[in-house]
Chain A
Amino acid sequence: MRSIPVKKSVNQLIFAIGVLVVWEALALLKLWPPYVFPTPRGVAETLWAGLADHSIFIGIAVSLRRVALGYAISVVLGILLGVLLTWSRFLQDTLGGVILSLQSLPSICWVPLALLWFGLSETAIIFVTVMGSMLAVTQATKAGFDNVPRILSMAGRNLGAKGPQLFWHVMLPASLPYLVDGLKQGWAFAWRSLIQGEMLYVTLGLGQLLVAGRDLNDINQVVVVMVLIAGIGYAVDSLLFRKLETSLRDKWGTAIASA
């Protein structure tokens, strides 16, 4: 059977309409009480109300500002740590294992420590975000440097690059496919960790809106905020990282190194 090529967007539209129809049908059947089962209309109304009173905009803005700060810190520290691990055999033998084991901690595990150290503060949330994503960046940086083909660094040295030049003009660009992979993973971890951090205490931000929804038994709000969190995560991934990956792939003529 020949399949007719259909545009991706058409498929997505059909799927969305299908989901809405089934959802509304289930809602009309009233199988569950309304505080357990959200309705399309209820979700739409909550979304509209949130947009109208700007609470959603404020939540998104606050969360994005925090994740930008936390992610920036974790990228800088993560890459730095990755470079140190590559350069120093001693650090690699010692810290390497520690980092691996810390990476298996869910970021929520950092919350008690954050609270004891920083109290109910902005700093505590940023700390959780950084700890949640930094080590992924470190691992990818290390893998990137370890996998630079020897021939490229030899060619660089042969053409007169030494020390920092070799680092900036050969090692770093050569490890970029791995690095971008790590940055992408780091972003996903940072965003998740932030939301977890924001659920800690009363503050603006999407995590808090989610908790508020539960406290008010407002399932519609819970669903709205969950959709927003997932949507923003997806949007950043596809707007930023997918573009970066595509441009890398075009230059290198390869599939991105799959770690």
Chain B
Amino acid sequence: MSNYVLDLFSRATAGSRVLPEYDELSEQVKPRKDAPANDSVSQSPDSRKESIALSGVFRSYANSRGSFTPALQNIDLEIEQGEFVCIVGPSGCGKSTLLHLLAGLDKPTTGQVIVDGNPVQGPGTDRILLFQELGLFPWLTVRQNVEFGMKMAGVSKDERKDRARTFLRMVHLSHFEDHYIHQLSGGMKQRVALARSLALHPKILLMDEPFAALDAQTRDMLHDELERLWKETSPTIVFVTHNVREAVRLGDRVLLMSFRPGRIKKQFQVTLPRPRHVEDSDVALMSKEILGQLREEIDRSFNAEYSREEKR
């Protein structure tokens, strides 16, 4: 855990070198020490607050042959408040399952998922999941989509409008508030989904391959925007992707998951100074290291598919 302190340190020093607003960032990314301590939150001795804790989490699904396919196996994981964690792994490693567990849209077979000291019972607006398919509502305008969560929470009409506009400004979509979803480009839809999630002030933002379907330029731009929004609103982010460079570009930490059953095979602390870019040489170097290990898992997943084919 001393890595974390090192990381913070490197960020702060990097900030003073690179960008003036970095001081502000290091302030915000730090665990919220000044926040009133939630009585049920277990605080670690050095006052860092745990945002997410998974212990001994298993999840398996019944398959068509009447047996069980394990999706996640023995996951132990701690994520700190304000941390940006990226998860990479071959497809079928249970990355999305993990996010669904955190979002409360799914339950572990055994084990515990603790968020802010409380076991997850179901969906809650302190944890917002950004789906890969977005799930924007086509019958609502852009602003109404952003207002949706607040409307469900009973926020007054005027406040909803104000807050929605604030977040739409943040993602540069002010001029599109009265458009319907189908009138937007892919990147714009992503930003609407992001604004819709952030408008609820979630403590935890869960992102399931959100930029996978976008072109490289749009993705670069959204990386910058996401990083900026993260600084401004400082949620904990768990970001699932199959793109290792993206993970290194964005994360404080990168988790590598193994092929089915999904386990956390290895963790990488990313201490490279921010802001990073996908084309940076140090980002590339670190990606290469992670990719080497990821490839083993991808090979295993291919082999598993092939052997299944041959059996037929």
Q: Which of B116-160 contact A (CB under 8 A)?
A: 123-125, 128-129, 131, 133-140, 148-149, 151-153
> What is the bound-complex CA distance between A160 and B124, given in angstroms?
6
CB neighbours (8 Å) of A154 from chain B are 105, 131, 135
Q: Pick the contact of A165: B103, B129, B152, B180 (CB < 8 A).
A: B152
Q: Which of A135-191 contact B (CB under 8 A)?
A: 149, 151-152, 154-162, 165, 169-170, 173-174, 176
Decide: A159 near B128, CB < 8 A? Known: A151-B135, A169-B148: yes
The interface bits of chain B over 176-187 (1 if a CB of A lies within 8 angstroms of the residue's CB, else 0) are 000011110000
Q: Say yes or no for A33: interface residue by CB 8 A criterion.
A: no
Residues of A within 8 A of B (CB): 149, 151-152, 154-162, 165, 169-170, 173-174, 176, 248, 250-254
> What is the bound-complex CA distance between A32 and B140, given in angstroms?
60
Query: Do most interface residues of chain A lie in helix, strand or loop, or is the interface mixed?
Result: helix
Q: Say yes or no for B191: interface residue by CB 8 A criterion.
A: no
B138 and A158 form a contact (CB under 8 A): no
CB neighbours (8 Å) of B181 from chain A are 253
- Size of the B side of the interface (Cβ < 8 Å), in residues, is 27
B138 and A157 form a contact (CB under 8 A): no
Q: How many A-B residue pairs have CB under 8 A?
A: 69
A128 to chain B, nearest CB (A): 35
A160 and B153 form a contact (CB under 8 A): yes
Residues of B within 8 A of A (CB): 103, 105, 123-125, 128-129, 131, 133-140, 148-149, 151-153, 180-183, 196, 200
A251 and B123 form a contact (CB under 8 A): no
> What is the bound-complex CA distance between A155 and B138, given in angstroms?
12
A151 and B152 form a contact (CB under 8 A): no
Decide: A159 near B138, CB < 8 A? Known: A250-B180, A252-B180: no
Q: Pick the contact of A173: B123, B125, B139, B182 (CB < 8 A).
A: B139
> What is the bound-complex CA distance between A252 and B182, given in angstroms?
6
CB neighbours (8 Å) of B129 from chain A are 158
Provide a sorted-by-A list of 13 A–B residue pairs whose CB atoms are within 8 angstroms: A149-B135, A151-B135, A157-B105, A158-B123, A161-B148, A162-B123, A169-B148, A169-B151, A173-B137, A174-B139, A252-B138, A252-B182, A253-B183
